[in-house]
Amino acid sequence: MSTMIDSEEGRALSSTVVENRDQLVAYIESGSKPRENWRIGTEHEKFGFNLETLQPIPYDGPAGVKAMFDGLERFGWQPVVENGFTIAMHMEGQTISLEPGGQFELSGAPLKNLHETCTEVNTHLDQVKQVAAELGIGFIGMGFHPTATRADFDTMPKARYDIMKAYMPTKGSKGLDMMFRTCTVQVNLDFGSEKDMREKFRVGMALQPVATALFANSPFKEGKTGGMVSLRSDVWTDTDPDRCGNLPFVFDDGFGFERYVDYALDVPMYFVFRDGKYINTAGQSFRDFLAGKLPGYSGHKPTLKDWDNHLTTVFTEVRMKKFLEMRGADGGPWARICALPAIWVGLLYDQPAQNAALDLVKTWTAADVDALRAAVPTQGFAAATPDGRTVREVAADMLTIAEKGLGARAREDQMGQDERHFLGTLKHMVAEGRTLADEMMAKYEGEWAGDVTRVFAEYAY
């Protein structure tokens, strides 16, 4: 989740008072860029664990989050402090932030190609591993924590999480699981126009359940099988119906920036951030804020920074700010962090590929996508798609289209290798017909003899 970092852009947004809805629409629309300026932003989360106890790491202590942050300063990372606590680190357009249970998240810089993306990921994970080894800490990428209960997690000292922790149980039964026990990997992509945004949003929303299957990596819960290949995805089905799931209007004729703004205006607020403090506005209306009638804060109007913050509290499978975020994947092993942006860049950063992806889902309705999203967490590759095929078959088509799209981009590294090789781990998995969750379950039922803790040794970074 986003972290408040002082910047020139942030100060400019904070000083711009919003007087009307048109300003909110214009803010999102201003994200439109010519193709040559499109960038790739990758975010990934991971669980820290004590190497001796395998328990989640706390904030304080010799093997905790604060010690990790202190150790990372040697590489040039600068601390971000809130109420005396280091809650994030930043450096050269990148941010390391904390999820509520101490999950480490790297929000990467906007980069030109997947080679740069994977170099960024590799550098970050190498630095984290160096510091963690000195502290007796390990890190693992999975969609849902395989052994810990909610009570095993230390709440991170970020004021917005106190607000969310109190509000979440009023909206769904699994909101606290989302906060404390899940990890994801996502990619942020640019759009060129309203039409281009509409096409990308539709492809992303329709195919997000297939991406969930491709990256399914959360079959365990509290040391036992959870009955699903993606417990993380299932958690989002009962977190908060006001801000989660699919958006049916994305498939309507005429969908555009204005319709999304109207939707986001009706997503209940969490907070207002003023003078370094969070004001609890959970459940209240941004429309009231826009009118200067926010209860308990009457007479004040929002700034563009308030709007930007509010957009980060939308948790749909595809989210729009001044770019689009693809949010349907479980966190996973090292290679899959690079594979996630590869498949979406391949599908959506080459026009013929984007056209082919649109054709792949042209008959799918919003109700079809909802049904598929409900089926995939349990059925994975075997789930039936709206056109009567399996998710595995559609995933194979996605990879074929993405491979052509990456080939057409022709972005080569110093060795003359283009971006297509980043799809290798996904192609192998689809050819075998089993997800990473299936692989883990086979080991659990076989060589692990029911011992889920083996996952920490075999799948940690």
d(CA 321, CA 307): 10
> How is residue 136 written in tokens?
């007796």
Q: Taking residues 114-132, report their average pLDDT.
A: 97
Asked if pLDDT for residue 335 goes beyond 90, the answer is no
Is residue 204 within 8 Å of 367, Cβ to Cβ?
no
Asked if pLDDT for residue 383 goes beyond 60, the answer is yes
| Residue 358: C-alpha distances to residues 105, 188, 204, 364, 368 (Å) | 31, 19, 10, 10, 15
pLDDT digits (tens, 9 = 90+) for 60-84: 999 999 999 999 999 999 999 999 9
> How is residue 324 written in tokens?
């689009």
97 vs 9, more confident: 97
pLDDT for 124 equals 97
Question: What are the start and end residues of each CATH 3.30.590.20 domain in the chain?
Answer: 31-267+314-459
Split at pLDDT 50, 70, 90, the class of 3 is: low
Name residue, tokens 């995939």: 376
pTM of the model: 0.96
Asked if pLDDT for residue 4 goes beyond 60, the answer is no
Split at pLDDT 50, 70, 90, the class of 115 is: very high
Q: Taking residues 427-448, report their average pLDDT.
A: 97
pLDDT digits (tens, 9 = 90+) for 414-426: 999 999 999 999 9
Is residue 328 within 8 Å of 180, Cβ to Cβ?
no
> How is residue 37 written in tokens?
């300026």
Residue 85, amino acid: F
Q: What are phi and psi of 90, to 5 degrees?
A: -140, 155
Considering 9-23, 266-280, 369-383, the range whose residues carry the highest mean pLDDT is 369-383
Asked if pLDDT for residue 46 goes beyond 90, the answer is yes
Asked if pLDDT for residue 1 goes beyond 80, the answer is no
Q: What are phi and psi of 138, to 5 degrees?
A: -120, 165
Report the first-to-last Cα separation within the chain, whole angstroms: 22
pLDDT for 9 equals 73
Residue 250 DSSP label: G
> What average pLDDT does the chain have?
96
pLDDT for 13 equals 85
pLDDT for 275 equals 87
- The count of residues in the chain is 461
Asked if pLDDT for residue 276 goes beyond 90, the answer is no
Is residue 213 within 8 Å of 350, Cβ to Cβ?
no
Residue 261, amino acid: V
pLDDT digits (tens, 9 = 90+) for 156-204: 999 999 999 999 999 999 999 999 999 999 999 999 999 999 999 999 9
- The percent of the chain in helix, strand and coil, each rounded to the nearest 5, is 50, 15, 35
Is residue 133 within 8 Å of 121, Cβ to Cβ?
no
Residue 346, amino acid: G
CA dihedral (192, 195, 201, 204) positive or negative: negative
CATH level 3 topology of 31-267+314-459:
Creatine Kinase; Chain A, domain 2 (3.30.590)
Asked if pLDDT for residue 34 goes beyond 80, the answer is yes
- 30: closest CA among 367, 257, 360, 259? 257
d(CA 302, CA 452): 48
- 314: closest CA among 304, 324, 302, 303? 324
pLDDT digits (tens, 9 = 90+) for 196-255: 999 999 999 999 999 999 999 999 999 999 999 999 999 999 999 999 999 999 999 999
For the residues of 123-150, what is the DSSP string, one character each?
Answer: HHHHHHHHHHHHHTEEEE--SB-SS--G
Split at pLDDT 50, 70, 90, the class of 36 is: very high
Asked if pLDDT for residue 2 goes beyond 60, the answer is no
| Residue 1: C-alpha distances to residues 155, 278, 393 (Å) | 14, 15, 33
pLDDT for 26 equals 97
pLDDT for 296 equals 84
Q: Percentage of the chain with pLDDT > 70? A: 98
Q: Taking residues 123-151, report their average pLDDT.
A: 98
